[in-house]
């Protein structure tokens, strides 16, 4: 019995490790998401290190693990395959997680994200 539990735990651990290591490295610099309301600066470094997100797919939801994930713009600005507008997508994903997070460093007010 104990052996089976151990084995299950090992397999689960390896599965998690495999996901972590199959991710390519995230861009190290900040990305400016330009919009009429004011530029939003997005940092992969802060999100991967301080927010503790390990899987690219948490945000790059269409990423299948081949090559590099695409910018959200690619589909959400072109409205490809009925992708909702970038504002809807960004607000839902970014603000959604920030609101749920207990981490007070995650901004939820307009001006904390949209800077001139
Ligand atoms: C917390 C959300 C989030 C996570 C996690 C995340 N990304 Fe991103 N990524 C973004 C956003 C937002 C952009 C900018 C998209 C845009 O402007 O359309 C982006 C852009 C990119 C770009 C395009 C950069 C450019 O300038 O063209 C690459 C490549 C990328 N991410 C790779 C990764 C990889 C690899 C991982 C996992 C190790 C990862 N991302 C994890 C949100 C995230
Ligand atoms: C390859 C195209 C593609 C890329 C790249 C992409 N999306 Fe999407 N996204 C879609 C499509 C299409 C939908 C519509 C629902 C579905 O098919 O999943 C969607 C739906 C969403 C939704 C759900 C919206 C709702 O109203 O429920 C969110 C949130 C979202 N995307 C955020 C993002 C973010 C943030 C990024 C970049 C980190 C991104 N997407 C990159 C195509 C894409
Ligand atoms: C899965 C959860 C999650 C998602 C999705 C997410 N964030 Fe965050 N974000 C966090 C957390 C947690 C922090 C606080 C990190 C810290 O401790 O500094 C944070 C911090 C930030 C900060 C403040 C730190 C800085 O970079 O100046 C900005 C701005 C930010 N996020 C923008 C965004 C944007 C824009 C998106 C969507 C494109 C996004 N975030 C998506 C969890 C998330
Ligand atoms: C967590 C960060 C965050 C917060 C908080 C936030 N936004 Fe945004 N917003 C974004 C991102 C990211 C985009 C998409 C930028 C892009 O076009 O690449 C966006 C897009 C927009 C757009 C679309 C502009 C255009 O060019 O189409 C408007 C308008 C907007 N936001 C208004 C607001 C208002 C009003 C609030 C406060 C009630 C707010 N946002 C709060 C991150 C945020």
76 lines ligand 4 (CB under 6 A): no
For the Cβ of 95 lying below 6 angstroms from any atom of ligand 2, the answer is no
The pTM assigned to this predicted structure is 0.91
**Residue partners of 54: CB distance under 8 A and separation at least 6:** 19, 20, 23, 48
CATH 3.90.10.10, applies to 28-55+69-115 = yes
For ligand 4, say whether the CB of 95 is within 6 Å of any of its atoms.
yes
Q: Please indicate whether residue 86, judged by its CB atom, sits closer than 6 Å to ligand 1.
A: no
Condensed to tens digits (0 to 9), the pLDDT of residues 40-80 reads 999 999 999 999 999 999 999 999 999 999 999 999 988 77
In ligand 2, the atom with minimum distance to the C-alpha of 94 is: 35
- Please give the distance, rounded to the nearest whole angstrom, from the Cα atom of residue 84 to the centre of ligand 2: 7
Quick one: pLDDT band at residue 21, thresholds 50, 70, 90? low
* CB 85 within 8 Å of CB 79: yes
State the Cα–Cα distance between residues 116 and 98, nearest whole angstrom. 21
- The C-alpha atoms of residue 60 and residue 48 are separated, in whole angstroms, by 13
Domain boundaries, the chain: 28-55+69-115
Residue nearest to atom 35 of ligand 3 (CA): 42
Q: What is the separation of C-alpha 106 from the centre of its chain, rounded to a whole number of angstroms?
A: 13
């Amino acid at each position: 019995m104990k052996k089976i539990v151990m084995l299950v735990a090992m397999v689960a651990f390896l599965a998690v490790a495999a996901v972590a290591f199959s991710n390519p490295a995230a861009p190290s610099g900040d990305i400016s998401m330009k919009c009429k309301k004011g530029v939003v600066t997005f940092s992969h470094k802060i999100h991967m290190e301080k927010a503790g997100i390990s899987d690219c797919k948490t945000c790059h939801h269409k990423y299948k693990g081949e090559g590099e994930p695409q910018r959200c713009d690619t589909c959400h600005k072109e409205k490809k395959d009925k992708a909702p507008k970038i504002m809807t997508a960004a607000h839902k994903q970014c603000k959604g997680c920030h609101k749920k997070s207990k981490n007070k460093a995650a901004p939820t007010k307009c001006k904390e994200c949209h800077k001139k």
